[in-house]
Amino acid sequence: MDNLDDRSLLTQLLDDSKLYKKGKNFKELLDFVNALSNFAPFNVFLLHLQKPGLRFAASEHDWGRRFNRTIKELLLSS
């Protein structure tokens, strides 16, 4: 990705984060962070911004250990 794409994505992320300053949306975010306590809160926040209805998530380690799956090398190099 070039710097313009990176800045655009960062701007969108920051704009989306303004939804969580108070009220129902903030409570939903806190509940989401609590439900995915095996992840760092910032990473859970990013997951919630990317897919608000997400109910399950697994780390790379979990995918390998529990599901015998790996991340495709092509995706890692992006």
CB 63 within 8 A of CB 71: yes
- pLDDT for position 1: 46
Q: Both tokens of residue 8? A: 């655009």
Q: Is the pLDDT of residue 23 over 70?
A: yes
Domain coordinates of the chain in residue numbers?
A: 3-76
CA 40/CA 46 separation, integer angstroms: 10
Q: Is the pLDDT of residue 55 over 90?
A: no
Pairwise pLDDT comparison (34 vs 4), residue with the higher score: 34
CA 64/CA 50 separation, integer angstroms: 23
3-state SS, residue 76: helix
Q: Is the pLDDT of residue 41 over 60?
A: yes
- pLDDT for position 70: 85
Mean of pLDDT values over 42-51: 85
Pairwise pLDDT comparison (62 vs 27), residue with the higher score: 62
> How far does the chain reach from its first CA to its final CA, in angstroms?
8
